[in-house]
């Protein structure tokens, strides 16, 4: 269910921002772990599929960031910062 940010109350918008920030942080942490493990695997076994998997997940992290950025801009437009 996609939420229209303009229709949310101030409290709901701040809660949405907090949730999106948390999810982005967790996801980015997992991507960093995948990058580190990909580097270690590449050093030990050479280039293989696990070397490039984090690149696919970086694209998804950009979607998370974009969604969080939209919420931040709506908060800024309402002067809630």
Per residue in 24-81, pLDDT (tens digit) is: 999 999 999 999 999 999 999 999 888 888 888 988 888 999 999 999 999 999 888 7
pLDDT, greater one: 80 or 1 = 80
Q: Which two tokens stand for residue 51?
A: 């070397």
Does this model's pTM top 0.85? My answer is no
Q: Which two tokens stand for residue 19?
A: 């949730």
Determine the Cα angle at 28 with ends 65 and 59, to 5°: 55
Whole-angstrom distance, CA of residue 35 vs CA of residue 7 = 38
Whole-angstrom distance, CA of residue 24 vs CA of residue 60 = 10
pLDDT of residue 25: 93
Whether 1 has a pLDDT exceeding 60, the answer reads no
């Amino acid at each position: 269910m996609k939420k229209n940010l303009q229709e949310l109350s101030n409290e709901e918008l701040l809660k949405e921002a907090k949730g999106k920030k948390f999810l982005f942080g967790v996801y980015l942490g997992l991507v960093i772990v995948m990058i580190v493990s990909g580097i270690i695997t590449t050093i030990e076994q050479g280039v293989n599929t696990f070397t490039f998997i984090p690149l696919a997940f970086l694209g998804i992290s950009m979607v998370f960031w974009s969604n969080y950025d939209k919420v931040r801009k709506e908060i800024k437009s309402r002067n809630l910062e």
